[in-house]
Amino acid sequence: MPNEPLITSKNLFPVVGIGASAGGLDAFKQFLQAIPEDSGMAYVLVQHLDPTHESLLPELLQKVTRIPVEQITDEVKIAPDHIYIIPSNKMLIANDGVLKLSPRTAKKMDRHLPIDLFFQSLSAVHQSHSIGVILSGTGSDGTRGLKAIKDQGGITFAQDESSAAYDGMPRNAVQAGVVDFVLPPEKIPQKLLDIINIYGVNETSGMVASAAQINEAAFKQILSVLRLRKGTDFAYYKQTTIRRRILRRMALNKSEEPAAYLQFIRENKQEQDILYQDLLISVTEFFRDKKVFDNLCESIIPRILKSKSNGEPVRVWVAGCSTGEEAFSIAICFKEVLGGKNDKVQIFATDISEPAIAKARIGLFKKNDLENVSPQRLHDFFSKQSGEYRVNKDVREMCVFAVHNFLKDPPFGKVDFISCRNVLIYMESYLQKKALTTFHYALNPKGFMLLGKSETISSVPDLFAPEAKSDKLYSRKDGPGKFIQVATQRIEQNLQGSHSDTKADNPLTDIQRAADDVILRKYMPDGVVVNEVFDIVNFRGKTSDYLEQLGGKPSHNLLKLAKRGLAFDLRNILHQANTEKKAILKESISLHENIPGSETGIKQRIISIEAIPLNTIEPHYLILFHETSALKATKKKDERRFKKDDKDLLIQNLEQQLVQTHEDMRAITEVQESAIEELQSANEELLSSSEELQSLNEELETSKEEIQSTNEELTILNQELLSLTEQVTDARDYAEAIVATVHDALVVLDRNFRIKSANQSFYKKFAVNKEETEGVVLFDLGNKQWNISGLHEFLHNISSENGQISGLEVAHNFPLVGEKTVLLNASRIIEKNQGEQLILLSISDITQEKNARKQFQDDQNLRENQKDEFISIASHEMKTPLTTAKAYLQMLELALNKNDVDAILYAKKASEAVDRLNDLIGELLDVSKIRLGKLDFKITTFNFNDLIDSSVENMQLTSIQHSIVKTGTVSSEITGDQYRLQQVLINLLSNAIKYSPGEKKVYLTISQEKEQIKVSVKDTGIGIAQKSLDQIFDKYHRIEEHAVHFQGLGIGLFISKEIIQRHHGEIWAESEEGMGSTFYFTLPLGDTKPKA
């Protein structure tokens, strides 16, 4: 940092400092892309750059914006609509509107914080024109800089966390509370422009602090948050009201301290909006103060219309129209007065509240909004629309609704009638004055203004005159009204001092003017300027000859200061001038003076005085004193003094009497004046009391509106509550209706099993009624028919269990209703309000269900048996023709000529088919038996080897192509069903043969392991897909892919599995597609007696 102090820049455009570090490039790009070309601001980008590399930032950024991007060389003068970028390895400060570079500090004492450094210098130099923006980056650089900017009244931004690649820097700044706005980078420029446009470049954000009358900084801050968000400055609004509203929001948000609420509202944009709307109390109604509207219709509107003879439109401005009722009321009045005539009436209805304007535009009102609207008007100007009333289109079209702040935005012009009711009451007198001045400006010369009940024009008496005796109706006075353009104190000060400023600004260089001055000074009569109450506001020339300060309280009053003998005439001419509004001259006033050292001790002067009313807003008068002939008079007197005749004596006598009379009169006048003075002061007191009362009245009116709005809120809340209650009642009725209609009997018990309530179904089902049921212990109910032992336990358990027990089935002979089977479900209900523990017992009568189920089971069994029987009959019947077929085939084969090989083969094949058919029928029977669990086993102990051998032999007889290769033997005998086990072996062997067509061998391997026999049947055929392996033992499975080639029900394996499992063995298969399959089964050696 340089040692010399920084020089404040006179630049009147905002300078935006933008700091970023890691992740800054993207943020910069987004930011720059959003800057319009003519933003009127200068932008300085400070980026943490690698000191050892040349920065490419300017080139990169120039690609995304059309605003010139410059790398800063030393001593760059900042110009608006330019972007400046820090070069690498430099520190940057701003001084006197110039950007200066300094080498990066090599010292280690300071951390490298270029953003802080630059922002601090920016804030010192550009003060309230400085704007700081912190974008993506790590660390905390920039926070102190933003604070400096904020301290100087500048505006600060930070990138929001969600859009920042690295949120360290923005978050740090936000947490430090130095950030006004948290936004994504692309939205910052627009916001900036909004703020700058609202306040103009002369605006300083320090204003709130200097003007607000709240002591607590927090209140100020809250208002400034709103000002920044909404552009409405509440500083000059009635602070009592504002504070009440803020406190109300605080209470609603449970914030105890304004500071806490400030914190809350800063981060919560929604709350900002709510508070803003809350501050804009919108209370209004149709035809508020009926008398006013009657008068409007009877006299004012006709007068306005009359003045518009040449077809000009009548322009009306409803300022602060809220939700539009006032505007519509006035529109209706115009419509009524106009009758059918088509004179054009434009009503501009404005309000600062957007939601209110939005509502007004729709023009939809509830029935109770329309209480003051006569039925006739309701019929003429409203139409019903879904239960509400909508203002008719022709009336709506007369009104133009707009969001507008008449304290800030340019007013409408050439308005014939302004209504601004109960708006001023929220404002301090300064704003009232400003508003009234604005209205004066807006009104046509013969325009009218309507104010609220408690509002007056007292702050600007010269602009408006009360219209007759009507309520708060004023007509515009011609006067030098000045429209105060911008709502800042600074502007007002300028206005007040404007007269003197112009003079001082121009140095006296003009010779002619200098001469004029000399002449003026030399020949100008002495005089004073007085105001309405004759206080001197300006002395001109030497007035000591005419005025003197007597003893007592110092006074500026001309009449008090006037020398003896002059006051009387002064008063006369001032009075005359006041009434006649023209200059009044009074000549030949003799003035006696005691002059020590002169001959007579008295000097008599003849002077004339002139009172000229000045053409100013407040009445002022210029009093000029003309010395006519002081010396001459003295001389004359001297001459006469020596003529001592009678006449002289008489004259002298008379003169003395005259002097005496003068003295007397003077004394009387003085008494009178003091009386007047007292009256005056009493009057002033009255006035001030009146003002106090006025402000109290306004305060009361405000409170009334607040209460009214609170009342409305309460009404709405109440309605909501009512509707909620209704919903609750509905829900209850609904639930009760369900309970009443539900088929199951429901009983609610208390902790002592006393019945609290029961539903209809319960009464009906168990033949009891409500009276004998409620309040009775369940076990005592209906001849103790519920005294069931299981039930006691069940209900006691409910307390210990997790409040839910279900499915206790109780078969009980109820003395009153007979044998029933019921299913009990119970759950514990805890009533939140009473904390009472209740038990809901639901009793389903499942007697019928139970019976039906039993019936069904019986039927099922019967059906199964019938089916079984059918299958065995069917198979039997099928076997009969099979028997004859087989025998005849065999006989045919035997009868054929041995040489007829083909015929013998055909007969053999037919025979085999018949055999297979027979096997299938057998399997079918087996499956049916397995399913019914009726597969019988004949258990014997036998030699397993023999079984194997006979099976192989059997198989070999029918399969000529394949030879069965048997290996291994078993020494032990086993116990089991020989026939069934053979069935398994044959099944496996025939499968192996069947699924290996073209192969020559299948392999049967037997081995004896520890406690079991293991048998494997292996073929080298087509194999089984892995996915099918698990399923091949399922019932009716057939290997899909082979379905075309190999027929069969595929139930053989299912039966085999059943047989092996019943022998406590296992059966499984291993296979690889195309390589063949191996089927295994094991049989335990010990007790292999099949399961039942």
Q: Does 162 bind other proteins (CB under 8 A)?
A: no
Distance in Å, CB of 759 to other proteins, minimum: 60
Q: What is the C-alpha separation between 789 and 811, in angstroms, rounded? A: 11
> Residues 21, 39, 282, 844: which is the catalytic one?
21
Looking at 345, 561, 914, 948, which residue binds other proteins (CB under 8 A)? 914
Distance in Å, CB of 1036 to other proteins, minimum: 20
Stretch that binds other proteins, among 205-213, 702-710, 879-887, 1072-1080 (CB under 8 A): 879-887
| Three-state helix/strand/coil letters over 714-741 | HHHHHHHHHHHHHHHHHHHHHHHHHHHH
Pairing of strands 963-967, 1001-1008: parallel
Distance in Å, CB of 741 to other proteins, minimum: 58
Which phi-psi region, left, alpha or beta, contains residue 238 (left: φ > 0; alpha: ψ -120 to 50)? beta
For other proteins, the closer CB: 679 or 895: 895
Q: Does 906 bind other proteins (CB under 8 A)?
A: no
Q: Where are the beta strands (DSSP E) in 652-696?
A: none
For other proteins, the closer CB: 71 or 872: 872
| Phi and psi, residue 1085, nearest 5° | -80, -35
Q: Does 888 bind other proteins (CB under 8 A)?
A: yes
Q: Does 876 bind other proteins (CB under 8 A)?
A: yes
Looking at 101, 362, 400, 885, which residue binds other proteins (CB under 8 A)? 885
Asked if residue 937 lies in contact with residue 1090, where contact means CB atoms within 8 angstroms, the answer is: yes
Closest by Cα among 672, 690, 670 to 682? 690
Q: Does 890 bind other proteins (CB under 8 A)?
A: yes
Contacts of 454 (CB under 8 A, 6+ apart): 422, 425, 694, 697, 698, 700, 701
Instruction: Give the count of alpha carbons within 13 A of 567, CB side only.
Output: 21
Q: Does 173 bind other proteins (CB under 8 A)?
A: no
For residue 626, the cross-strand partners are 608
Looking at 894, 957, 960, 1092, which residue binds other proteins (CB under 8 A)? 894
Stretch that binds other proteins, among 468-476, 573-581, 735-743, 914-922 (CB under 8 A): 914-922
Distance in Å, CB of 1059 to other proteins, minimum: 15
Q: Does 887 bind other proteins (CB under 8 A)?
A: yes
Q: What is the C-alpha separation between 748 and 758, in angstroms, rounded? A: 6
Q: What is the C-alpha separation between 177 and 217, in angstroms, rounded? A: 14
Q: Does 875 bind other proteins (CB under 8 A)?
A: yes
Q: What is the C-alpha separation between 313 and 326, in angstroms, rounded? A: 20
End-to-end CA separation in angstroms for the chain: 104
Q: Does 899 bind other proteins (CB under 8 A)?
A: no
Stretch that binds other proteins, among 103-111, 207-215, 269-277, 892-900 (CB under 8 A): 892-900
Q: What is the C-alpha separation between 629 and 605, in angstroms, rounded? A: 7
Q: Does 838 bind other proteins (CB under 8 A)?
A: no
Looking at 368, 802, 833, 884, which residue binds other proteins (CB under 8 A)? 884
Q: Does 881 bind other proteins (CB under 8 A)?
A: yes
- The footprint of other proteins on this chain (CB under 8 A) covers a number of residues equal to 25
Q: What is the C-alpha separation between 649 and 925, in angstroms, rounded? A: 177
Closest by Cα among 1006, 954, 1004, 1002 to 979? 954
Grouping H, G, I as helix, E, B as strand and the rest as coil, residue 662 is helix
Q: What is the C-alpha separation between 1058 and 1067, in angstroms, rounded? A: 9
Report residue 119 as tokens. Answer: 């922002």
Q: Does 879 bind other proteins (CB under 8 A)?
A: yes
For other proteins, the closer CB: 620 or 879: 879
Q: Does 891 bind other proteins (CB under 8 A)?
A: yes
Stretch that binds other proteins, among 31-39, 257-265, 890-898, 964-972 (CB under 8 A): 890-898
Stretch that binds other proteins, among 342-350, 736-744, 877-885, 969-977 (CB under 8 A): 877-885
Residue 588 designated active-site: no
Looking at 588, 883, 972, 1026, which residue binds other proteins (CB under 8 A)? 883
Distance in Å, CB of 927 to other proteins, minimum: 12
Q: What is the C-alpha separation between 627 and 625, in angstroms, rounded? A: 7
Distance in Å, CB of 884 to other proteins, minimum: 5
Report residue 698 as tokens. Answer: 């306004």
Asked if residue 317 lies in contact with residue 450, where contact means CB atoms within 8 angstroms, the answer is: no
For other proteins, the closer CB: 894 or 1092: 894
For other proteins, the closer CB: 354 or 893: 893
Single-letter amino acid, residue 535: D
Q: Does 882 bind other proteins (CB under 8 A)?
A: yes
For other proteins, the closer CB: 753 or 937: 937
Q: Going residue by residue from 925 to 954, which x/- string records binding to other proteins, judged by CB under 8 A?
A: x----------x-x----------------
| Phi and psi, residue 400, nearest 5° | -110, 115
For other proteins, the closer CB: 540 or 929: 929
Distance in Å, CB of 873 to other proteins, minimum: 8
Distance in Å, CB of 986 to other proteins, minimum: 16
Distance in Å, CB of 886 to other proteins, minimum: 4
Distance in Å, CB of 879 to other proteins, minimum: 3
User: Quick one: CA dihedral 485, 491, 493, 498, positive or negative?
Assistant: negative
Distance in Å, CB of 954 to other proteins, minimum: 13
For other proteins, the closer CB: 21 or 983: 983
Stretch that binds other proteins, among 758-766, 841-849, 882-890, 995-1003 (CB under 8 A): 882-890
| Phi and psi, residue 920, nearest 5° | -60, -40
Stretch that binds other proteins, among 19-27, 32-40, 514-522, 880-888 (CB under 8 A): 880-888
Stretch that binds other proteins, among 109-117, 482-490, 673-681, 871-879 (CB under 8 A): 871-879
Strand order in the sheet with 90-95: 76-77, 98-103, 90-95
Asked if residue 434 lies in contact with residue 487, where contact means CB atoms within 8 angstroms, the answer is: yes
Q: Does 277 bind other proteins (CB under 8 A)?
A: no
Q: Does 865 bind other proteins (CB under 8 A)?
A: no
> Residues 116, 121, 140, 141: which is the catalytic one?
141
> Residues 39, 48, 842, 844: which is the catalytic one?
48
Q: What is the C-alpha separation between 747 and 761, in angstroms, rounded? A: 10
For other proteins, the closer CB: 761 or 983: 983
Hunting for tokens 């390589």 — which residue is that?
1075
Report residue 681 as tokens. Answer: 């002061």
Residue 1045 designated active-site: no
Q: What would the DSSP string read from start to end of 809-866?
A: EEEEEETTTEEEEEEEEEEEEE-TTT--EEEEEEEEE-HHHHHHHHHHHHHHHHHHHH
Distance in Å, CB of 894 to other proteins, minimum: 4
Asked if residue 561 lies in contact with residue 534, where contact means CB atoms within 8 angstroms, the answer is: no
Instruction: Give the count of alpha carbons within 13 A of 717, CB side only.
Output: 6
The 10 Å CB-count burial string (b at 16+, else e) for 24-63 is bbebbbbbbebbeeebebbbbbbbbbeeeeebebbeebbe
Q: What is the C-alpha separation between 36 and 28, in angstroms, rounded? A: 14
Binders of other proteins among 973-992, rule CB under 8 A?
A: none
Q: Does 672 bind other proteins (CB under 8 A)?
A: no
Report the interhelical angle of 258-267 vs 217-230 (nearest 10°): 20
Pairing of strands 526-531, 620-627: antiparallel
Stretch that binds other proteins, among 470-478, 582-590, 690-698, 889-897 (CB under 8 A): 889-897
Residue 646 designated active-site: no
For other proteins, the closer CB: 815 or 881: 881
What residue ranges bind other proteins (CB under 8 A)? 872, 875-876, 879-888, 890-891, 894-897, 914, 918, 922, 925, 936, 938
Annotated catalytic residues are 21, 48, 141
